[in-house]
Amino acid sequence: MHKIAVAGTGYVGLVAGVCFAEMGHNVVCVDIDVKKVKLMESGTSPIYEKDLEELMQKNYNAGRLQYTTDYTSAYQDADAIFIGVGTPEQSDGSADLSYIATVARQIAESIEKDCLVVVKSTVPVGTNDKVEQFIHDFLVNDVRVEVASNPEFLAQGSAVHDTLHAERIIIGTESEWAEDILMKIYEPFDLPIVSVNRRSAEMIKYASNDFLALKISYMNDIANLCELVGANIQDVAKGMSFDERIGSKFLNAGIGFGGSCFPKDTKALEHIASQHGYELRTVKAAIDVNKDQKTMLYKKARNRLITFSGLKVAVLGLTFKPGTDDLREAASLENVPLLLEQGADIYAYDPVGADNFAKVFPEGLNEKGNITYVDHIEDALKDANVCFIFTEWGEVKAVTPVTYKELMKTPLVYDGRNIYSVSDMKDVGVEYHSIGRESAT
Ligand code: NAD
Q: Which amino acid is at 387?
A: C
The average confidence (pLDDT) of the chain is 96
pLDDT per position as a tens digit, 38-79: 999 999 999 989 999 999 999 999 999 999 999 999 999 999
Q: Which amino acid is at 253?
A: A
Q: What is the pLDDT of residue 366?
A: 87
* Burial zone of 47 (CB within 10 Å; 0-12 exposed, 13-18 middle, 19+ buried): middle
What angle (nearest 5°) sits at the alpha carbon of residue 216, between those of residues 214 and 217? 65
**Whether pLDDT at 367 is above 90:** no
- 261 Cβ inside 6 Å of ligand 1: yes
Q: What is the pLDDT of residue 380?
A: 98
Q: What is the pLDDT of residue 260?
A: 85
How many whole angstroms from its chain centre is CA 272?
21
Quick one: average pLDDT of 169-194? 98
Quick one: average pLDDT of 248-253? 96
Pairing of strands 345-349, 369-373: parallel
Complete domains list, the chain, with CATH: 3-196 (3.40.50.720), 205-235+255-291 (1.10.1040.10), 295-433 (3.40.50.720)
169 and 137 in contact (C-beta within 8 Å)? no
What is the atom index within ligand 1 of the atom nearest the CA of 151?
Answer: 44
- 10 Cβ inside 6 Å of ligand 1: yes
**Whether pLDDT at 93 is above 90:** no
Distance CA 4, CA 12 (A): 15
Q: What is the pLDDT of residue 345?
A: 97
pLDDT per position as a tens digit, 420-432: 999 999 999 999 9
Quick one: average pLDDT of 381-391? 98
Q: Which of 406, 351, 405 is nearest to 374 (CA)?
A: 351
Q: Which residues are tagged catalytic? A: 261
What is the atom index within ligand 1 of the atom nearest the CA of 156?
Answer: 40
Distance CA 112, CA 142 (A): 8
Distance CA 88, CA 328 (A): 11
pLDDT per position as a tens digit, 284-299: 999 999 999 999 999 9
Q: What is the pLDDT of residue 357?
A: 97
Tell me the pTM: 0.92
**Whether pLDDT at 169 is above 90:** yes
From the annotation, which residues make up the binding site for substrate?
Answer: 205, 250-254, 258, 321
Mutate which of 47, 67, 85, 212 to test ligand 1's pocket (most atoms within 8 Å of Cβ)?
A: 85
What is the atom index within ligand 1 of the atom nearest the CA of 103?
Answer: 18
Q: What is the pLDDT of residue 250?
A: 95
Q: What is the ipTM of this complex?
A: 0.99
pLDDT per position as a tens digit, 252-274: 999 999 998 999 999 999 999 99
pLDDT per position as a tens digit, 319-355: 999 998 999 999 999 999 999 999 999 999 999 999 9
64 and 26 in contact (C-beta within 8 Å)? yes
- Other Cβ atoms within 10 Å of 413 Cβ, number: 27
- 162 Cβ inside 6 Å of ligand 1: no
Distance CA 262, CA 104 (A): 25
From the annotation, which residues make up the binding site for NAD(+)?
Answer: 31, 36, 87, 122, 264, 328
- Other Cβ atoms within 10 Å of 24 Cβ, number: 13
